[in-house]
Amino acid sequence: MLCQGMSYLPLCLVLLTVATFITTYIIAIYNGDVSPNFPYISDTGTKPPESCIFSQFLNICAALCLCTIYVRYKLVEAISGHEDQNIHRLNQVGLGIGVLTSLGLSLVANFQETEVEPVHVTGAALVFGVGVVYAALQTALSYKMHPDYSGIYVARVRLALTFASFIVMATTVTSAVISRQSHPKDKLHWKPDEPGYVPHIISTAGEWITAIVFLMYFLTFVRDFMKLRIEVKPRLFVRHLDEPALFPDENTRLLA
């Protein structure tokens, strides 16, 4: 079955993210809040009521992203152990970078670009810029895990997606800078005859493509997550809740 093990995590992340973007886009277009021709993703979640939907569900997506990144970390640790220190260290770095990516998604959700632009831009840089670094690290891990722990096909797919996301993201940033030089202030409505319109469309289209590529990358985790289940087991140190607790040494730490 498709939802075996922990595979539902990346699936839920991808489906909810896509649903959020499509819903806020439709509402923003219906209300006339943005131009229908490839607005920035964040533009579709700037004004209420779509901003409320954007913030609420993108926060959930950020939580799902963090859980997915953590499960990926635990999966690599469980299957490779500490036998290969290179894999272990790379996996730990990947976890830290992934946490920053999830934080960026939360910042994008809660700080609209028209209200607190510096924080919003910082969040976007964490999502797309640091996100590419996370994808590169996971791709490197996939190659290091071959052939002992993983196949080569998925590593090649992840490499292609990482390369594509880097190229499209670089194009997006470059086009955004050129467009911004024509219009220093953010615009939610662009007309084809305005200067900077073409690089603006290239930039916004690139942002959507980058987001799609990232979501496709998370989908590559689905098959791996089918082989894993994480359980939380309670350990009581007392027989009565008024008794003082004596904490023994933990055998399994959160980041072990």
| CB 40, CB 204: distance < 8 Å | yes
The token pair at 41 is 């993703």
Confidence of residue 171 (pLDDT cuts 50, 70, 90): very high
pLDDT in tens, 109-148: 999 887 888 899 999 999 999 999 999 999 999 999 989 8
Torsion of CA 105, 108, 110, 115, to 10 degrees: 170
Which DSSP category does 111 fall into?
S
pLDDT in tens, 9-55: 999 999 999 999 999 999 999 998 888 888 899 888 888 899 999 99
Triad 176, 61, 76: Cα angle to 5°: 100
Question: Helix H segments across 111-220?
Answer: 117-124, 131-144, 152-182, 197-219
The token pair at 167 is 């190229």
The token pair at 96 is 């830290």
pLDDT in tens, 145-154: 989 888 999 9
Per the model's pLDDT, the better-predicted residue between 198 and 159 turns out to be 159
pLDDT in tens, 177-234: 888 777 655 567 777 777 778 888 899 999 999 999 999 999 999 999 998 888 888 8
Per the model's pLDDT, the better-predicted residue between 235 and 162 turns out to be 162
Boundaries of every domain in the chain: 8-225
* pTM (2 d.p.): 0.89
DSSP string, 224-247: HHTT---------S-SSTTSPP--
| CB 178, CB 202: distance < 8 Å | no
